[in-house]
Amino acid sequence: MRGDIIVQKYGGTSVANVERIMHVAERVVKTKKNGYKVVVVVSALGDTTDELIALANRITDEPPERELDMLMATGEQVSSALLAMAIQKIGEEAISFTGAQVGIMTDRAHTKARIQGVDAKRILKELEKDRIVIVAGFQGITEDQEITTLGRGGSNITAVALAAVLKAQECEMNTDVDGVYTADPRIVKDARKIDQISYEEMLEMASSGAQVLQARSIEAASKFGVRIHVRGTFHETEGTIISKEVRAMENVLVSGITLTKNEAKVTVCDVPDKPGSAAKIFEMLGEANINVDMIIQNVSRTGATDVSFTVPRDELAKTLKVANKVSGEIGAHGVTYDEEMAKVSAIGIGMRSHSGVAATMFKTLADEGINIDMISTSEIKISCVIKKTNGEKAVKALHKAFDLGKKS
C-alpha cells in the first residue's frame, strides 16, 4: 500500500502560459509539502495540439497517423519540461519524462492507442529520491518503440493509469471548473457543486453533455477503483469526488441535469418491416464512422415504420448522404431531418430503486409546454430530445423540479 501518492493532472488551459505554469508549480509543491509524493501529468500548452495538427494539414490533407503521433507527442514533452523547470525554480526537485521513458506501453493504434500496461519502476525510483515526477500525458510507446497518442482525453487516461498502477490515494483532475455541478452553472444560476458522485452517474453525465471528463477515463477509473477528484486549477476549494456508489443514506433521486445542444435528428421514413432493414442502416452509418447516439423505432402496424436517430450536428451532412443511399437500397420512402435539436437528461443512481422520476420529468416538460420528440432511458438516466430553442428552459425547470438547487 502506497497511500501517500497523489497523481495530479493539469489540462491545457491550466498550463496555457508561463504565469499559469508557475501557478501550477506552486500548487504541486504545496501538495508535496503537505506530505504527499506527487506525480503530475500534463497536457500540451493551451492550443498547441490543435496548432500542430493545423501545421500538418497545411502540408497534407491526410497526415499519416504515425507521423501525426510523432508530431503531437512533442506538445506534452514541452509542457512537462517547462513545469519541471518551474518546480525546480521554486526549490523542489522535479524530473520530467515522456510516456516512453516511464514505460506507458500501448497497442499500435496510432492517434487513438490504448494503454496496455505501465512499468512504474522508474517513477517509484524517482519518488523515493524525494522528487516530484512529471509525466507527459496523452502519449505512450509500442513494443517496437513507436510513439503513439491516446486520442481525446488522453492525458486523463494517462493520469488514471498511473494512479492505478501506483495505487495512488487519489487522482486529481485539475481543470478550469472547480467541480461537477448539478447542471451547467451558466444556464442554472443556483446549480450546486456535487461533493460526491458514483462512477456510473458520472459516466452518464459525461456521455450526456457534462464536459468535465470523458467517458473513457471514468470507465478506466471505475475498472481500477481509482478515486477521482475533479477540482479547479485556479480554485482552492475541494471539488467533486468520483468513486464507488456512496450515498445510500442521502436518498438522492437525481444527481444532475445535463444538456447537449448540437443534436440533429434524422428519420428514415417507412422502412419496410423486414428482418435486417434497420440493421442495414446502422451498419452503413457505422462504416462511415458516424457517431449515432439515440435510436428509436416504434412498432410497425402497416408493414413499414419510421426509424429515427440522433447524430452530432456536424456529422449531419455525411449522415444524410449515407441515409439517402441506404433508404433507396432498402426500399424506404426517403429521409427527413431536423438539425435544431437538443437532448436534456436527468441522471441519478436513486432512479434504480424509485419509480416516478420519468413521470416527474415528462410532466415538468409538459407544464413548460415543451414537446418531447424522442425518449431514451438507461437504468440511471432518462434523456429527452427536444427542440433546441427549449433546451435551457428545460434544464432550469428540471433542476428545480428535482430540487437540486443550493439549499438556503
Among residues 374, 370, 392, the alpha carbon closest in space to that of 382 is found at 374
Of 68-76, 221-229, 359-367, 393-401, the window that binds a second copy (rule: CB under 8 A) is 68-76
Q: Rule CB under 8 A: say whether 125 interacts with a second copy.
A: no
Q: Rule CB under 8 A: say whether 73 interacts with a second copy.
A: yes
Number of residues that bind a second copy (CB under 8 A): 36
Residue type, 167: K
Instruction: Choose, by CB under 8 A, the member of 2, 3, 4, 18 that binds a second copy.
Output: 18
Q: Rule CB under 8 A: say whether 101 interacts with a second copy.
A: yes
Q: At what angle do helices 154-165 and 215-224 cross, to 10 degrees?
A: 10
Q: Rule CB under 8 A: say whether 203 interacts with a second copy.
A: no
Restricted to residues 22-61, the positions that interact with a second copy (CB under 8 A) are 22, 52, 55-56, 58-60
Interacting residues of 242 by C-beta distance below 8 A, sequence separation 6+: 180, 196, 197, 198, 199, 202, 213, 218, 221, 227, 228, 229, 230
Instruction: Choose, by CB under 8 A, the member of 15, 84, 163, 382 that binds a second copy.
Output: 84
Q: What share of the chain is helix, strand, coil (3-state, %, to 5)?
A: 40, 25, 35
SS3 of residue 19 by DSSP? helix
Q: Rule CB under 8 A: say whether 89 interacts with a second copy.
A: yes
CB 170 within 8 A of CB 39: no
Calpha distance 69→340 (Å, rounded): 36
Q: Rule CB under 8 A: say whether 147 interacts with a second copy.
A: yes
Instruction: Choose, by CB under 8 A, the member of 95, 168, 218, 254 that binds a second copy.
Output: 95
β-bridge partners, 181? 193
Instruction: Choose, by CB under 8 A, the member of 3, 30, 64, 143 that binds a second copy.
Output: 64
Of 64-72, 262-270, 297-305, 339-347, the window that binds a second copy (rule: CB under 8 A) is 64-72
The nearer residue to a second copy, 76 or 263, going by C-beta atoms, is 76
β-bridge partners, 141? 105, 147
| Minimum distance of a second copy from residue 132's CB (angstroms) | 12
Calpha distance 98→162 (Å, rounded): 13
- Grid coordinates in use for 62? 491526410
The nearer residue to a second copy, 98 or 217, going by C-beta atoms, is 98
In the complex, the residues that contact a second copy under the rule CB under 8 A are 18, 21-22, 52, 55-56, 58-60, 63-64, 66-68, 70-71, 73-74, 77-78, 80-82, 84-86, 88-89, 95-96, 98, 100-101, 145-147
